[in-house]
A and B are shown apart, each in its own frame.
Chain A
Amino acid sequence: MTVSEMAKELSLTAVSGADGERNVSGVYVGDLLSWVMGRAQSGNVWITIMSNINIVAVASLADVSCVVLAEGVVPDEGVCKTAEQKGVNIFTTEKTAYQIAKELADLSL
């Protein structure tokens, strides 16, 4: 499943849609950046409530397929712009991390 297909299924809002054709595999949930960096796998959907600029570098270097900001968290414009430049997909949603994770599990991710 691609990032775009996954986002459509979950009704996520794209704030940086850099590479929607990328395939997603697995899910990681976490807010401590070094923890995420060390444990998330390449291709994962990363669910977090952390929205500062550093998530762009972490997402890029850990090579996750996209970032999903849960619970209505919205990044500022600079974050979105940088993410577009670095090829990092970011989505927002009002749903909780649990709800998103459950819906992704229902999609067999």
Chain B
Amino acid sequence: MNEAVKLHFLVDGEDFTSAGQASVQVKKSLRELGIAPEIIRKVSIAMYEGEINMVIHAGGGEADVLIYEDRIEIHLNDNGPGIANIDLAMQEGFSTAPDNIRSLGFGAGMGLPNMKRYSDSIQIDSALGKGTRILMVVQL
């Protein structure tokens, strides 16, 4: 596998009931590629949290997953409102999710912390009014 395997997804920001579909598809693809279960779990959780964030906060976006010989890269891009204070957003328990989202069991302030915990590195590039770009890497 010299060239990266590339997966591309449009994350629908309107349909909360189907949120997570891209992550479920990635899990399936990684399983088919014979990736170790613990790596699949890390990628699935990190990506799902990113996907849910794009649905809750940004009206959707795009996700690209690149599978290399030594690592998996998860690229998440949206044109949402951006993150005002990334340090604050990284704290467990901090959330700006609205009440209707909380009633579904989200908005615990664990999204970004889980993305950090389950990836080996995370870069967040965000500016108010300009959206958010995230790169997470999981080493194989």
Residues of A within 8 A of B (CB): 31-35, 37-38, 42, 50, 52-55, 57-58, 60-63, 78, 86
Q: A52 vs B104: C-alpha distance in the bound complex, in angstroms? A: 7
Q: Report yes or no: B19 in contact with A54, Cβ–Cβ below 8 A.
A: yes
Selected contact of B49 from candidates A37, A52, A54, A55, CB within 8 Å: A37
The closest CB in chain A to the CB of B95 belongs to: A34
Residues of B within 8 A of A (CB): 16-17, 19-21, 23-24, 27, 37-38, 41, 44-45, 48-49, 52, 104-106, 108-111, 113-114, 117-118
Selected contact of B113 from candidates A33, A38, A52, A58, CB within 8 Å: A38
Q: Which residues of A contact B111 (CB under 8 A)?
A: 34
Q: Report yes or no: A33 in contact with B106, Cβ–Cβ below 8 A.
A: yes
Selected contact of A53 from candidates B17, B106, B108, CB within 8 Å: B17
Q: Which residues of B contact A60 (CB under 8 A)?
A: 24, 27
Selected contact of B41 from candidates A35, A42, A55, A58, CB within 8 Å: A42
Q: A58 vs B23: C-alpha distance in the bound complex, in angstroms? A: 10
Q: Which residues of B contact A53 (CB under 8 A)?
A: 17
The closest CB in chain B to the CB of A49 belongs to: B105
Q: Report yes or no: B110 in contact with A32, Cβ–Cβ below 8 A.
A: yes
Chain B min CB distance to A16 (Å) = 15
Q: A86 vs B21: C-alpha distance in the bound complex, in angstroms? A: 11
Q: Report yes or no: B45 in contact with A61, Cβ–Cβ below 8 A.
A: yes
Chain B min CB distance to A73 (Å) = 12
Q: Which residues of A contact B24 (CB under 8 A)?
A: 57, 60-61, 86
| Known contacts A38-B45, A57-B48, A62-B41, then 7 further A-B pairs from the complex at CB < 8 Å, ordered by chain A residue | A34-B109, A37-B45, A50-B104, A54-B19, A60-B27, A62-B45, A78-B17
Q: Report yes or no: B105 in contact with A50, Cβ–Cβ below 8 A.
A: yes
Q: A63 vs B27: C-alpha distance in the bound complex, in angstroms? A: 10
Q: A38 vs B111: C-alpha distance in the bound complex, in angstroms? A: 9
Q: Which residues of B contact A42 (CB under 8 A)?
A: 37-38, 41
A and B contact pairs by CB, cutoff 8 A, 22 listed: A32-B105, A32-B106, A32-B108, A34-B49, A34-B52, A34-B109, A34-B114, A35-B108, A38-B117, A42-B38, A52-B105, A54-B16, A54-B104, A55-B105, A57-B20, A58-B48, A61-B23, A61-B24, A61-B45, A62-B41, A62-B45, A86-B24
